[in-house]
Structure 1
Amino acid sequence: MKHKLLSATIIATSLFTGVVSAADYTLKFGHLANDDNVWNEAALHFQKTVEEKSDGRIEVLVYPNSELGSEMDIINSIQLGTVDLTISGESLQNWAPKAALLAIPYAIRNSEHLTAVANGDVGKEIEEQITQQAGLVPLTWFERGARNLTSNKPIKTPKDLNGTILRVPNVPIFVKVWEALGAKPTPMAFSEVFTSLQQGTIHAQENPLSLINSASFFEVQDYVNKTEHVRSWIYVVMGKRQLDKLPKDLQTVVREAAAETQVYERELFLEDERKLSEVLHEKGMKFVDVDQEAFRKVALPAVRNSLNQDQLLLFEKIQKL
């Protein structure tokens, strides 16, 4: 049944910009990525697709660059109803513990495995908990760049790590895994990493190629060791209350636009990863093929010991795929 409010044009006003729109519904989409990031390009594609498919009945306002606050701020705003959509990943474990599986070391082997996990029963189980416990509906997912280890010496096996002081984010499972692999992991704010590498306080760090490049680590590190120790994905999520308030036909528009956006973002992501490899090569970094299976074998006991029972059950399901 057509929403009775649609009998006349409704003026939708953004709480954040004061913009007045003739659309029936205005959706606010805030995220952390900068204007040039593939996630923002994907958000703009989603915006265009929703507006076209809805014949202008939905307007989407995109706010990149943390304009609406931190990731946690935006999620809280969605739960309060003042924002509608964002892009979020393992941070969702603050509400839904199973979301930790979005970025667990050595859970995912490659892109094909990731697709099977995210699109399969494990992905559905994670998504259901996110919706039930965070009030957010995952509309689609994007693959993230694999995390790799940079250093000033080639590291091909775990024994090459002995004595290496390695910066890690302040995540307990990262500390335990790298300790098991023989390194000396040191939690440190990302903003301190470049200077610490430059001064020799730390010897190595691990991050996706995009951050290795944007943080100019090529100036203080010689090697990208292709550990690919974390392969992860991230969701475009929408508040469940906000989605449910839309008429059924417009809910379909939003979901179809999200599915099309995943295909669009995938092409951008693969091209971006290829370009990043080229850029880092050009800037002098050498890429080292690593015995990934040797790393995985040593790391897995530490991974399993870091997971709670529900997370471990999901992890084992992933390993069997």
Structure 2
Amino acid sequence: MNPILMAVMVSLSVVFGVGSAWGAAPAVKVDPLTIKFAHAGSLTHPYSVGIQKLTPILEKNSGGAIKLQVFCCAQLGSERELAEGTRLGTIDVTSVAAEGALPAWVPELQVLGLPFLIRDRAHVYKVLDGPIGKEFEAKLEAQGLHVLGWWELGFRNMTTKGKPIREPADLKGLKMRVQEAKVWLGLMRALGAIPTPIPFGELYNALQQGVVDGQENPIVTVVSMKFYEVQKQVGLTEHTYTALPVMASKKWWDGLKPDQRQVIAESVKASVAEQRKTVAGQVDEGIKFLKTQGVTITEVDKGKFMEATKEVPNLIADQVPPELVRRIRETR
């Protein structure tokens, strides 16, 4: 079954009993509001994990006055279209891959797609939750996207239909789906593969029909989007990390009342730690599950991947300042 074709509109709201369920009255009384939140993931994707964490917090903080109307599974378009719709105000809130769709407006976000720049989760949290993250947020704000917090997708790995991936030579000549940004094209070419941009919502079909030979995504995405049905090899490259900024339309945001903005901002902020913790904890269980589905998990020679991709930063130096790369690398 292709999960991205499900025509599902999920309304995640609890109208009654919020105070008793959480044992506390809301911090402020706010006017009723329904937030149109759209994303491209399945009902079990990290986007949906974020929604599941955010919903009860938002309902508690608003006394049930603020609800989410969620459009999942790319119902309202590709990630690029979701970001554009949010900029224009036709979508209230969205979350997309930071280094995928957003470089169309903020090229510097491609830095998050540079191979092996991010050491571990502690490193990237300091980057996103610190001064560099604030700079990204300011640039997105100038483009009509108000960042409320940074959810997590995680570290990305290579998958193929049948050929094991142990070293860059194993990717030579393979058509690999990539996100539509210069950094991804450069990364795959450096590995000898043929980069093929395909919207996330169309990826399952592209893999199933052989339009591409493989793709790269975190383990949790391979599981939640059921890519394991059409990809039986996973190489644990962990070559990049993907963050999922939760972004409100600035046009919509500026039109809210101050108390509504306060409740929404505080609620999303509180959901971030919970979403990150849950998604990070799903990796090991995801690997175990994939093995039960006949997927072969292969440890790769990371040294060879690092060597093959070491010049990728130079390929995007006109869009991503080397000084930004240095600052991220030196963040401790």
Structure with bigger gyration radius: 1
**Residue 117, structure 1, aligned to residue 130, structure 2:** no
**Residue 287 of structure 1: CA displacement?**
2.5
CA distance in 1 between partners of 2:319 and 2:185 (Å): 20
Q: Closer, same or farther in 2 for the Cα pair 1:245/1:227, shift >3 Å?
A: same
Which of these residues, 196, 199, 202, is aligned with residue 210 of structure 2? 196
Q: Deviations over 1:167-219 (max 9, x none)?
A: 232544333323333x232426433334439xxx84x5433224444444466
Instruction: Say which structure is richer in helix.
Output: 1
Is the 2:39–2:71 Cα contact (8 Å) retained in structure 1?
yes
CA distance in 2 between partners of 1:314 and 1:139 (Å): 22
| Residue of structure 1 in register with 2:318 after alignment | 308
Q: Closer, same or farther in 2 for the Cα pair 1:291/1:50, shift >3 Å?
A: same
| Residue of structure 2 in register with 1:76 after alignment | 84
**Residue 278 of structure 1: CA displacement?**
0.7
CA distance in 2 between partners of 1:172 and 1:93 (Å): 9
CA distance in 2 between partners of 1:230 and 1:265 (Å): 19
Q: Closer, same or farther in 2 for the Cα pair 1:266/1:310, shift >3 Å?
A: closer
Is the 2:207–2:230 Cα contact (8 Å) retained in structure 1?
no
CA distance in 2 between partners of 1:163 and 1:284 (Å): 24
The number of residues matched between the two structures is 294
Is the 1:147–1:208 Cα contact (8 Å) retained in structure 2?
yes
TM-score, with normalisation over the residues of structure 1?
A: 0.78
| Residue of structure 1 in register with 2:66 after alignment | 58
Quick one: which amino acid aligns to residue 41 of structure 2?
A
Is the 2:49–2:279 Cα contact (8 Å) retained in structure 1?
no
Q: Deviations over 1:102-157 (max 9, x none)?
A: 4333331221221121112221111110001x211111111213221235555444
Which of these residues, 20, 24, 28, is aligned with residue 36 of structure 2? 28
Quick one: which amino acid aligns to residue 77 of structure 2?
G
- Using the TM superposition, name which of 309-318 and 113-122 deviates more: 309-318
**Residue 147, structure 1, aligned to residue 161, structure 2:** no
CA distance in 1 between partners of 2:65 and 2:231 (Å): 51
SS at match of 2:154: coil
Q: Closer, same or farther in 2 for the Cα pair 1:74/1:290, shift >3 Å?
A: closer
CA distance in 2 between partners of 1:65 and 1:155 (Å): 29
**Residue 245, structure 1, aligned to residue 255, structure 2:** yes
| RMSD, aligned CA | 3.0
Q: Closer, same or farther in 2 for the Cα pair 1:70/1:284, shift >3 Å?
A: closer
Correspondence list, 1:1-321, <5 A: 23-88=31-96, 89-90=98-99, 91-132=101-142, 134-151=143-160, 152=162, 154-158=164-168, 160-161=169-170, 163-169=172-178, 171-181=181-191, 183-187=192-196, 189=198, 190=203, 191-196=205-210, 202=213, 204-213=214-223, 214-217=225-228, 221=232, 223-321=233-331
Q: Closer, same or farther in 2 for the Cα pair 1:164/1:126, shift >3 Å?
A: same
> Structure 1 vs Structure 2: percent identity of aligned residues?
24
Q: Name stretches of at least 5 consecutive residues in structure 2 with no aligned partner.
A: 1-10, 16-29
Q: Deviations over 1:216-235 (max 9, x none)?
A: 446653x4221111212110
CA distance in 2 between partners of 1:216 and 1:75 (Å): 24
Quick one: which amino acid aligns to residue 207 of structure 2?
V
Is the 1:218–1:284 Cα contact (8 Å) retained in structure 2?
no
SS at match of 1:177: helix
CA distance in 2 between partners of 1:93 and 1:49 (Å): 31
SS at match of 1:144: strand
- Using the TM superposition, name which of 294-303 and 147-156 deviates more: 147-156
SS at match of 2:314: helix
Q: Closer, same or farther in 2 for the Cα pair 1:110/1:121, shift >3 Å?
A: same
SS at match of 1:106: coil
Q: Closer, same or farther in 2 for the Cα pair 1:289/1:29, shift >3 Å?
A: same
Q: Closer, same or farther in 2 for the Cα pair 1:291/1:43, shift >3 Å?
A: same
CA distance in 2 between partners of 1:162 and 1:85 (Å): 37
CA distance in 2 between partners of 1:305 and 1:51 (Å): 46
SS at match of 1:228: coil
- Using the TM superposition, name which of 108-117 and 79-88 deviates more: 79-88
CA distance in 1 between partners of 2:107 and 2:312 (Å): 18
